Amino acid sequence: MVKVSTAIIVVATALALYGCSKKAEEPAPSINATMRQIMEPDAEKIWGITSKAYNEVGDGLVPEKISDADWKEIADASRRMKERADFLATAQKIVVAYPNEPILGSQAVGTKSKDGAAWDAVGPDTVQGRVNAKLDDFHQKARKLYEDADAMNCASQTKDVALLYKIASGLDETCDSCHEPFWGTDEPPPIPATEKVKGAERLQ
C-alpha cells in the first residue's frame, strides 16, 4: 500500500512539473536587454583578454598570454553572443526596449544638440521606427555580429590566436556599423563630466 501511494505521488509530481513547463512563453528579449546583458559584458570580457595578450608591437597576440581559463571564457562569451546575434538576425519582430528599459541617452530626447541634428539624442520609438523600416539591413548587421562571434568561438576551440586577434580587433566596427544607422552615431561629442550617464563613457 505504501509503495502504491508513493508511486501515485511520483506520477502526480511528474504531471505537475510537466504542467509547469507549459507556462506562458517569456517575451522575446529586447535589443536593449541583449546589449546590456550580453553584447557589452561579453565583448568586454573578450577585449579584456586580448588586450593583455598583445605582443610588443601590438599587431598580434602572444599565445602564452592566454590561459586555458581565458579560452574557456572566450568560448562561453562568444557562444552567448552568437546565439543572441542569430536571434537578432532572424526575428521578424524585434523590440528595441520594453517600457521599463530606458535606452542610453534617451533622457536627453527633446534637447537640441548644439553640434547639429545628427547628434540629437533619440528615444526608443525613433530607434524602433528605424529597425522596422529597415529590418533587412538590421538583420544583415546582426548576421555580421553572428559571424564574428562564430569565428571567435572557432578560434577558442583550436586556440587560434591569429583568428582571435583578427576578429576581436575589428569587433567594435561590427558594433558601430549597426549603432550608426539605427541608434545614431556611436561617437557622440564628449559628455561633460557632470552629465555623464553611467555606461556612456564606454561607448566613446
Q: Smallest distance from the beta carbon of 55 to ligand HEC, in angstroms?
A: 23
Which residues of this chain interact with ligand HEC, rule CB under 6 A? 31-32, 35-36, 39-40, 43, 88, 96-97, 103-104, 127, 138, 141-142, 145, 171, 174-175, 178-179, 182-183
Nearest to ligand HEC of 39, 53 (CB atom)? 39
Nearest to ligand HEC of 14, 44 (CB atom)? 44
Q: What's at 138, amino acid-wise? A: F
Q: How many Cα neighbours within 13 Å face the side chain of 32?
A: 17
Q: Smallest distance from the beta carbon of 188 to ligand HEC, in angstroms?
A: 12
- Count CB atoms within 10 A of the CB of residue 139: 18
Q: Smallest distance from the beta carbon of 65 to ligand HEC, in angstroms?
A: 22
Nearest to ligand HEC of 138, 165 (CB atom)? 138
